[in-house]
Structure 1
């Protein structure tokens, strides 16, 4: 798997929700093949920023460019480049589906081959029982299954919301390691978390109101 990851440049971006401003005056840069983690407490706008950076939430101010595509005018093109593995609420694997059904559904959406799916599962280090219910898998395996099925379609970027939600420390470490493996294919991974990983991730902290709130970029 060899992917040309997206790059993202944002200057002074802002977004509003039903209750007012979600984030404002935010500058950031994400490089191709980078693990970028939007970190902050609940209600800080993590998921909203994830949606905005992928062309799924319209900004009210600022400049946002994704691999040469300027938003909002070219949001449709950006949505094709960056695909969600998990977005909460609304975009998650169905608990009542069996693993084989989840694989079939995602293959129909992405056009990925059986070989691509097998390679992506190996990449993130899981081999789930195809007859098992998705909801019966360990939460880390549920998340990594969603990541693998998205990565199998070789998008330029992948969205992974709430990476650390409900996971003990060891499981979190395993998921972050798997996401780093995905970035080694060239894919840009945009994730959210309450507690970001240490090491080579680029961390975008919310709330943020100064330039380039990034730590530990590779």
Structure 2
């Protein structure tokens, strides 16, 4: 698997939701094949930032481009380059479906082959029973399955929200290890977490804004995977 990763460049980007500022004046640069980590307390806009970087949230100001595609005018192209592995709400596995069901659904939506799925499941180190319901999986396995299904489509980048949510220290280590294996393919990975992992990563720290992050951010033009 050899991927041409996405290149992210942002200068002074700001997003505003119904309750006020979500994040403000953020600069970042994540180059192809790097692991970028958005950190910050609850309400600092981590999820909204991932939506913006994947072409699914309209910014109020600033400059944002992904592999030369300038947002918002080229948001459709960015959405083809950058796939959500997990973004809450809206981009999560249906907990009432079986593993077999979500794999079949994703293959139909994305046109990915079963060998591609199997390769990514092995790469990230997860092998759930096909008949298991998603809610029955260990939280780390559930997230790794989401990551594998997004990466199987061989996008230039994936985004992953709340890496640490519900995980033990061992589970977090397992997920960060899997994400580092993905960047070795050339794929760019941008994830959010309350704390940055140890090791080599591009860390973007988001301060808490004056207002709490709204639950209904102003996304546009980007339903589905």
Q: TM-score category by the smaller chain?
A: over 0.9
Instruction: Tell me the residue number matched to 2:37.
Output: 37
What is aligned with 2:73? Answer: 73
Alpha-carbon distance change, 208 to 200 in structure 1, aligned in 2, over 3 angstroms = farther
The Cα of 1:195 is off from its aligned counterpart by 1.6
Give the superposition deviation at 1:22: 1.1
1:99-148 Cα distance to aligned partner (Å, 9 max, x none) = 00010011112111111000000010111111111110100000000000
Task: Answer yes or no: is 1:143 the counterpart of 2:147.
Answer: no
| Count of matched residue pairs | 209
Q: Which blocks of at least 5 consecutive residues in structure 1 are unaligned?
A: 210-218
Q: Tell me the alpha carbon deviations over residues 71-121 of structure 1, each in whole angstroms, 9 at most, x when there is no partner.
A: 110011001100111101121101111100010011112111111000000
Q: Distance in 2 between matches of 1:37 and 1:60?
A: 22
Find the residue that maps to 2:171 and give its secondary structure. Answer: helix
- TM-score of the two chains, using structure 2 as the length reference: 0.91
Q: Give the number of the structure with larger relative contact order, counting CA–CA contacts within 8 Å between residues 6 or more apart.
A: 2
Q: In the alignment, which residue of structure 2 is the partner of 1:176?
A: 176
Counterpart in the other structure of 1:84: 84
Counterpart of 2:141 in 1: which secondary structure? helix
Please give the root-mean-square deviation of Cα atoms over the aligned residues, in Å. Answer: 1.1
1:2: which partner in 2? 2
Cross-structure match for 2:58: 58
Question: Quick check: 2:123–2:178 contact (8 Å CA) kept in 1?
Answer: yes
The aligned residue for residue 99 of structure 2 is 99
Question: For 1:204-215, what aligned pairs fall within 5 Å after superposition?
Answer: 204-207=204-207
1:208 offset after TM fit, Å?
Answer: 8.0
